[in-house]
Amino acid sequence: MVFFVIDYINFRNSYTNLYNCIENSGEIDSYLVDGQSFEENLIKDIIENLKIKNNSDIETYKQSLKELDEYIAKWVHEIKIPISSLSIITDRLSSIEDSLDIKNQVAKINFLVNSILYSSRSNTMFEDVFINKFNLEKLVKMSIKNNSFLLIKNNVEVSLNELENDVYTDSKCMSYVLDQIINNAIKYSKEVGKIEFNSKKLENGVVLSIKDFGIGINEEDISRVFDKGFTGKNGRNQLYKSTGMGMYFVKKMIDSLGHEIEVCSENGSYTIFNIYFYDISDYLSLDS
């Protein structure tokens, strides 16, 4: 009887850590098993083999994602060639109305293609990210230029105020972020729309405010604007259907860059996006 009790205590002590780890959904490792008996050594071998297989599956998955990203990048490059050709062809059309209609569609296609490119890179974006000092006005004007045709076509006025501040960011990623916000402002604008860009110097950085005077966002939808696949009531009722992915990737990029973004809105009146850029010292630990 005494030997039975001793064996039980040894057995319990040998597997307590492993049992607790399983119960708490922790990482299972072979060191959790003592390996003093045949059964324990067998369990250790099983755990080690599972770890090897799991690591192999992860590497295979990473390689597949890398190949997919490379394919999308090449596809985007190739499809931009006919898009550019279409733009040139529309300039030669005799009918101004037909030319404008085609240019409008080409601009939408170009925006969607760029969205696909940046969305596909959202998980591995830090491989190509360079945080540098940029003039905020130049960044904003670059995105306005990218969307100039759609802004003009949809009668959306643009106002720039106090954008002389410099910020630390990645220009390509911020171009995607600003393009998405501008495109949303165009998509949900009224018959005559307006977008205002303002910036303000803070104690530890700069805030960029982007305000449009469109249809706004329902109060119950504001907290879900950055949720994956969320379109909201207003987004589902529009002529241009929303995928609900644009703002999701915007938030993802903003977080990865160490910036912050918030949104406030009054349904039927306006929507404001505030982007917070912080001083260079706050970006030194981004890779950690």
Three-state DSSP state, 32: helix
Is 226:190 a contact under the CB 8 Å cutoff?
no
Domain ranges of the chain: 1-116, 123-283
Mean pLDDT score across all residues of the chain: 77
Averaged over 259-273, what is the pLDDT?
95
Averaged over 251-277, what is the pLDDT?
93
Taking the C-alpha atoms of residue 197 and residue 191, their distance in angstroms, rounded to an integer, is 20
One of 3.30.1360.120, 3.30.565.10, 3.40.50.300, 1.10.1740.10 is the CATH number of 123-283, namely 3.30.565.10
Taking the C-alpha atoms of residue 70 and residue 88, their distance in angstroms, rounded to an integer, is 28
Share of the chain above pLDDT 90, in %: 32
Taking the C-alpha atoms of residue 184 and residue 248, their distance in angstroms, rounded to an integer, is 13
Taking the C-alpha atoms of residue 86 and residue 77, their distance in angstroms, rounded to an integer, is 15
Q: How many Cα atoms occupy the beta-carbon half-sphere of 239 within 13 Å?
A: 5
Taking the C-alpha atoms of residue 251 and residue 229, their distance in angstroms, rounded to an integer, is 13
pLDDT (tens digit, 9 = 90+) per residue, 142-170? 999 989 888 988 899 999 999 999 999 99
pLDDT (tens digit, 9 = 90+) per residue, 197-214? 999 999 889 999 999 999
Share of the chain above pLDDT 70, in %: 66
pLDDT (tens digit, 9 = 90+) per residue, 43-91? 666 777 777 777 777 887 777 677 667 667 776 777 777 677 777 776 7
